Homo-oligomer: A and B are copies of this chain.
Amino acid sequence: MSESLKKHIQKLIAINDDDCTGILSYFTMMKATKKEDLLTAGKICKSNFFVSKGCLRLFFVNDKGVEETIQFALEHWWLSDYTSFSAQKPAEFFIQAVEKSEIMVLSFSAQEEMLRRFPQMERYFRLVHQRAHAAFQFRIKFLYTLSREQLYRDFARRYPEFVQRIPQYLLASFLGLTPEYLSEIRSRKIS
C-alpha cells in the first residue's frame, strides 16, 4: 500500500529511500469498504488522504437532500476538505469510499510534524496542489462551455476506464446530470 505513495513521491521530487521510509512512518494505512464514510460534514477533517487503490469522492448534500459530487480521487490522488483540514474547523463536505479502497492517511498534526522534519515534502505538496489548481482552471472552463452531453463525452474520452468503473449515478452527480439523462446519452450513438 505504501509502495505506491513512495513511487509517487519519488516521481515528483528527488528523495532517497531512507528519507522516504521516515516520511512513510507518519502515515497510517487504512482499508475502506465500499461506501465507508471517511469524513462527515460538521466534523473536523482531521486527515489528508492518498489513494493507493480504489476511489474516494468528496461531496455535499444539497437543499433537496441530494448528494452532489465535487471531486473523485482515483489511485495516486490526494483528497481532503482543504478548508476544514487547513484550519481544523468543521467541514462542509463529506468524503466516502466509492469502492473498496486502500488509503494512506496523514493526520493534520502528523503532516505538520513530517513537514518540519522533511521540509523537502513541501515541494511535493506544492506540486500536488499546483496540479489541482491547474485542473480546476480547466474544470471551470468545461463547466462554462460544454453542454451536459459534451461534458460526458469529453469525460468518457479522457477517462474511459473510470467511466466503466464507477456507479453511473455518481458519475451523473459529478457531471450535474440526472441518472436518467446520463443513461439516455450513453445509449445514443455518437453521430
Chain A residues within CB distance 8 Å of chain B: 58, 60, 62-63, 68, 70-71, 81-83, 86, 92-93, 115, 119-120, 122-123, 125-126, 129-134, 136-141, 143-145, 176
Nearest residue (CB) in B for A135 is: B83
In the complex the two chains form, is B82's CB within 8 Å of A144's CB?
no
- Bound-state Cα–Cα, A119 to B130, Å: 16
- Bound-state Cα–Cα, A138 to B93, Å: 9
In the complex the two chains form, is B70's CB within 8 Å of A141's CB?
yes
A125 to chain B, nearest CB (A): 5
Partner of A123, one of B58, B62, B119, B176: B119
- Main SS at interface, chain A: helix
Which residues on B sit within 8 Å (CB–CB) of A123? 115, 119, 122, 126
Name 25 interchain pairs, CB-CB below 8 A, sorted by A: A58-B137, A60-B145, A62-B144, A62-B145, A63-B145, A68-B141, A68-B144, A70-B144, A71-B137, A71-B140, A81-B134, A82-B130, A83-B137, A83-B138, A86-B130, A86-B131, A86-B134, A93-B141, A119-B122, A120-B122, A122-B123, A129-B129, A132-B133, A133-B133, A144-B176
When all copies of this chain in the complex are counted, the total is: 2
Nearest residue (CB) in B for A127 is: B86
Which residues on B sit within 8 Å (CB–CB) of A140? 70-71, 136, 139, 143
In the A-B complex, list the 8 residue pairs whose CB atoms are closest, starting with the nearest: A129-B129, A82-B134, A136-B136, A122-B122, A126-B126, A122-B123, A83-B134, A132-B133
